[in-house]
Structure 1
Amino acid sequence: MKFLCDVHISFKVVSFFKGLGHECIHVNEILEGCFTKDAEISRFADQGGYILVSKDSDFKNSFLLDRTPKKLVKINLGNVSNKNLIEILGHREELLRELDLKESFMLEIGGDRESYMD
């Protein structure tokens, strides 16, 4: 799988995905880094086949209205520790593998709820 972590996702998450053998980059490493506009991030993710991991609700809105980014993991956990976020993502690796086969999806991960749509 290929992941693109948005600006508010730690580089520790990038390292975690890489450690599992996945391709993963951070938005700060591409385009204009943290100054990159959301539309450009979505376009980059869609063109490269990346799953965008973000806490930004603008990406959820963009997915619902325009289906971009095509593949989105929306984190709704507030100021969760990196350790806990990595653990939560690790428990969903198999689900992410299944969803990645789809043309388009959004997986929302919240405190006591989780949902996805395609």
Structure 2
Amino acid sequence: MRLLFDQNLSHRLVALVDSAFPGSRHVVDYGLDTATDREIWDHAASHGYMIVSKGSDFRQFAFLHGPPPKAIWVRAGNASTRAILELLLRHRGLIEEFEGDAEGALLVLPFD
């Protein structure tokens, strides 16, 4: 289960989630930090990633295009990197279920 973190999330998350989500990367790792949402979407689809973003842009892509890739919308506002990490780890089982759902395109993780 590999995650691709959007530019609106810290690149430090890659190392922090490594044991739970091995092989995850940040858009910066691929030189996509200034890429369009479409370029990120296409890259994630081609390389087997689920996109994780705090922005709602990928929500629209998920509804318009469907998977792959899948998008995880972290509705955490101004939350710290540690809070985002804890949210992802707390919902790891849900993320695994989402990955296995052939029809699911978008998972919304509200900040509790």
Residues 9, 54 of structure 2: 8 Å contact kept: yes
Q: Do the aligned partners of residues 16 and 62 (structure 1) sit closer, same or farther apart at CA in structure 2, a change above 3 Å counting? A: same
Residues 73, 106 of structure 2: 8 Å contact kept: yes
Q: Normalization by structure 2: what TM-score? A: 0.88
1:60-109 Cα shifts (integer Å, max 9, x gaps): 11111222553111011111011111111101111111211123431111
For residues 68 and 20 of structure 1, what CA distance do their matches in structure 2 show? Answer: 22
Residues 70, 106 of structure 2: 8 Å contact kept: yes
Specify the alignment match of 1:116 in structure 2.
Answer: none
Specify the alignment match of 1:84 in structure 2.
Answer: 83
Specify the alignment match of 1:106 in structure 2.
Answer: 106
For residues 36 and 68 of structure 1, what CA distance do their matches in structure 2 show? Answer: 20
Q: Normalization by structure 1: what TM-score? A: 0.84
1:6-33 Cα shifts (integer Å, max 9, x gaps): 0011122111221335111110111x43
- Choose between structure 1 and 2 for higher RCO, CA contacts under 8 A separated by at least 6 residues: 2
Code of the aligned partner of 1:84: A
Q: Unpaired segments of 5 or more residues in structure 1?
A: 113-118
Residues 74, 111 of structure 2: 8 Å contact kept: no
> Do residues 93 (structure 1) and 102 (structure 2) align?
no
For residues 20 and 94 of structure 2, what CA distance do their matches in structure 1 show? Answer: 15
Q: Unpaired segments of 5 or more residues in structure 2?
A: none
> Do residues 8 (structure 1) and 18 (structure 2) align?
no
Specify the alignment match of 1:40 in structure 2.
Answer: 39
What is the SS of the residue equivalent to 1:85? helix
Q: Do the aligned partners of residues 69 and 77 (structure 1) sit closer, same or farther apart at CA in structure 2, a change above 3 Å counting? A: farther
Specify the alignment match of 2:19 in structure 1.
Answer: 19
Percent identity between the aligned chains? 28
